[in-house]
């Protein structure tokens, strides 16, 4: 286990805090929050834990350039660009959409870290452009290392397996962990950590944009593969993975009443910031589950705050967060 290459730049352990005022307001279970928005590395978030393993692997491979892809307001791209700056890599980001006039939110920060950009207008072209960008960098002698979407491969997922070990050392008895899941690496790591380190509660991913069946298949395969790096192969099957896709019908990054209410409630009752795309949607789903009686009275629910706050300052979400008519993040 000790031989897995890992850099140490995350601020760990992240705190666990009680949310008594929000719990009372919702009349629901005892709510706690794991502050992975405080992991460090350029305003924190869940990609920090993954990048400790991914950047170590890039170094071990002799890479000189990190290439990755995501949405314009990708937190993953922002944190990858920061890690590249910190460890002396060049960074190329393949971003979906058109180059915006105003640099705001994560995209502004990407520029400060010195990342170079390739914009892909048509999402269908993203895979091809990413591959062309990688091949060109290789041909130019830049020794590129491809960081997968969301940092979600077996290497990146290890960050969240060890996060469960960290959580268990903090002594909170939780019945549930709830968090936003998208590319599946966080989810796979948590599921693997649950089994490898013995967490007795349940691990429930609230989908940001993928179907439940895709998540179950993808996360179980990823967790199985990642387990081999820990030295013991565990077999995970789709039915071992808990996920709901009930809250992502609006589409990726579209701000609806669900996210807006969650962002506002966490802010007003606990002074905690969520983000419009991921934690807002995940917390909105959790709040709906509380209201519909999904959790049993007396249960303890840990919400994993995976970060993303820079998107609060993205032009595309600003009006929508305050509930201005016609502003929905598009
Ligand atoms: C990337 C991200 C997620 C989703 O994590 P995955 O490992 O891609 O499923 C959740 N929250 C925030 C803030 C993110 O940036």
Task: Examine the fold and report which residue of 150, 181, 211 is the final residue of a domain before the chain moves on.
Answer: 150
Using only C-alpha atoms, the chain has a radius of gyration, in whole angstroms, of: 19
Split into its structural domains, the chain has a count of 2
96 is catalytic: no
Looking at the structure, tell me whether residues 160 and 129 fall in a common domain.
no
* d(CA 186, ligand 1 centre) in Å: 7
* d(CA 106, ligand 1 centre) in Å: 14
Looking at the structure, tell me whether residues 160 and 30 fall in a common domain.
yes
Domain interval for residue 189: 16-45+152-322
Q: List all residues whose CB is within 6 A of at least one atom of ligand 1.
A: 45-46, 75-76, 150, 152, 180-187, 275, 278-279, 306-308
Contacts of 286 by beta carbon, 8 Å cutoff, 6+ apart: 178, 206, 262, 301, 303
Looking at the structure, tell me whether residues 101 and 69 fall in a common domain.
yes
Q: Could you tell me whether strands 202-207 and 242-244 are parallel, antiparallel, or unpaired per DSSP bridges?
A: parallel
Is residue 300 in a domain? Answer: yes
Is residue 2 in a domain? Answer: no
Question: Which residue has its alpha carbon closest to ligand 1 atom 1?
Answer: 150
Q: How many CB atoms lie within 10 A of CB 288?
A: 17
Catalytic pick among 74, 96, 182, 220: 74
Looking at the structure, tell me whether residues 99 and 237 fall in a common domain.
no
Contacts of 183 by beta carbon, 8 Å cutoff, 6+ apart: 148, 149, 150, 151, 152
Report whether 11 contacts 43 (CB < 8 A).
no
* d(CA 68, ligand 1 centre) in Å: 15
**pLDDT at residue number 129:** 97
Task: Check which CATH number belongs to the domain holding 61 and give it.
Answer: 3.40.50.1100
Report the candidate in 91, 73, 71, 70 with the shortest Cα–Cα distance to residue 82.
Answer: 91
- The C-alpha atoms of residue 133 and residue 136 are separated, in whole angstroms, by 5
Q: Give the mutation target among 35, 68, 186 for probing the ligand 1 site: most ligand atoms within 8 A of CB.
A: 186
- The C-alpha atoms of residue 171 and residue 165 are separated, in whole angstroms, by 11
Report whether 7 contacts 30 (CB < 8 A).
no
Is residue 204 in a domain? Answer: yes
- The C-alpha atoms of residue 187 and residue 180 are separated, in whole angstroms, by 8
* d(CA 65, ligand 1 centre) in Å: 23
Is residue 6 in a domain? Answer: no
Sign of the torsion formed by the C-alpha atoms of 293, 298, 299 and 304 = positive
Task: Examine the fold and report which residue of 110, 135, 150 is the final residue of a domain before the chain moves on.
Answer: 150
Helix (H/G/I), strand (E/B), else coil: 276:
coil
**pLDDT at residue number 330:** 44
Q: Give the mutation target among 14, 43, 46, 281 for probing the ligand 1 site: most ligand atoms within 8 A of CB.
A: 46
Looking at the structure, tell me whether residues 121 and 197 fall in a common domain.
no
Is residue 11 in a domain? Answer: no
Helix (H/G/I), strand (E/B), else coil: 54:
helix
Looking at the structure, tell me whether residues 105 and 126 fall in a common domain.
yes
Q: Give the mutation target among 45, 179, 252 for probing the ligand 1 site: most ligand atoms within 8 A of CB.
A: 45
Is residue 5 in a domain? Answer: no
Looking at the structure, tell me whether residues 214 and 297 fall in a common domain.
yes
Looking at the structure, tell me whether residues 118 and 86 fall in a common domain.
yes
Helix (H/G/I), strand (E/B), else coil: 187:
helix
**pLDDT at residue number 3:** 82
Looking at the structure, tell me whether residues 283 and 201 fall in a common domain.
yes
Looking at the structure, tell me whether residues 238 and 303 fall in a common domain.
yes
Looking at the structure, tell me whether residues 211 and 269 fall in a common domain.
yes
| Model confidence pLDDT, tens digit, residues 276-315 | 999 999 999 999 999 999 999 899 999 999 999 999 999 9
Question: Which residue has its alpha carbon closest to ligand 1 atom 8?
Answer: 183
Q: Is the pTM of this model over 0.85?
A: yes
- The C-alpha atoms of residue 36 and residue 299 are separated, in whole angstroms, by 22
Is residue 156 in a domain? Answer: yes
Atom of ligand 1 nearest to the CA of 278: 11
Q: Which residues of the chain have pLDDT under 70?
A: 1-2, 324-330
Report the candidate in 315, 255, 264, 258 with the shortest Cα–Cα distance to residue 291.
Answer: 258
Looking at the structure, tell me whether residues 35 and 62 fall in a common domain.
no
Is residue 8 in a domain? Answer: no
Question: Which residue has its alpha carbon closest to ligand 1 atom 15?
Answer: 75
Report whether 36 contacts 44 (CB < 8 A).
yes
């Amino acid at each position: 286990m000790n031989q897995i290459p890992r850099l140490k730049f995350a601020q760990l352990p992240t705190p666990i805090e009680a949310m008594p005022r929000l719990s009372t307001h919702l009349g629901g279970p005892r709510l706690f929050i794991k502050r992975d928005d405080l992991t460090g590395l350029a305003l924190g978030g869940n990609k920090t834990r993954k990048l400790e393993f991914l950047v170590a692997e890039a170094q071990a491979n002799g890479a000189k350039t990190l290439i990755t892809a995501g949405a314009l307001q990708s937190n993953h791209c922002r944190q990858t660009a920061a890690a590249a700056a910190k460890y002396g890599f060049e960074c190329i980001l393949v971003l979906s959409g058109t180059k915006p006039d105003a640099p705001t939110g994560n995209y502004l920060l990407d520029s400060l870290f010195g990342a170079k950009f390739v914009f892909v207008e048509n999402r269908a072209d993203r895979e091809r452009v990413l591959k062309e960008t990688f091949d060109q960098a290789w041909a130019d002698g830049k020794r590129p290392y491809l960081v997968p979407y969301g940092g979600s491969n077996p290497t990146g997922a290890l960050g969240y397996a060890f996060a469960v070990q960290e959580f268990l050392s903090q002594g909170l008895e939780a019945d549930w962990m709830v968090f936003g899941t998208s590319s599946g690496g966080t989810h796979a790591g948590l599921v693997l950590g649950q089994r490898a380190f013995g967490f007795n509660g349940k691990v429930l991913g609230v989908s940001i944009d993928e179907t439940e069946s895709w998540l179950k298949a993808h996360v179980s395969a990823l967790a199985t593969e990642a387990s081999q790096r820990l030295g013991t192969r565990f077999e995970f099957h789709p039915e071992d993975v808990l996920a709901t896709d009930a809250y992502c019908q609006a589409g990726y990054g579209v701000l609806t009443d669900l996210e807006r209410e969650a962002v506002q409630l966490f802010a007003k009752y606990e002074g905690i910031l969520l983000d419009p795309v991921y934690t807002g949607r995940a917390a909105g789903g959790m709040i709906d589950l509380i209201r519909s009686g999904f959790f049993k009275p007396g249960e303890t629910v840990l919400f994993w705050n995976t970060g993303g706050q820079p998107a609060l300052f993205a032009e595309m979400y600003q009006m929508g967060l305050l509930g201005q008519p016609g502003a929905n993040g598009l």
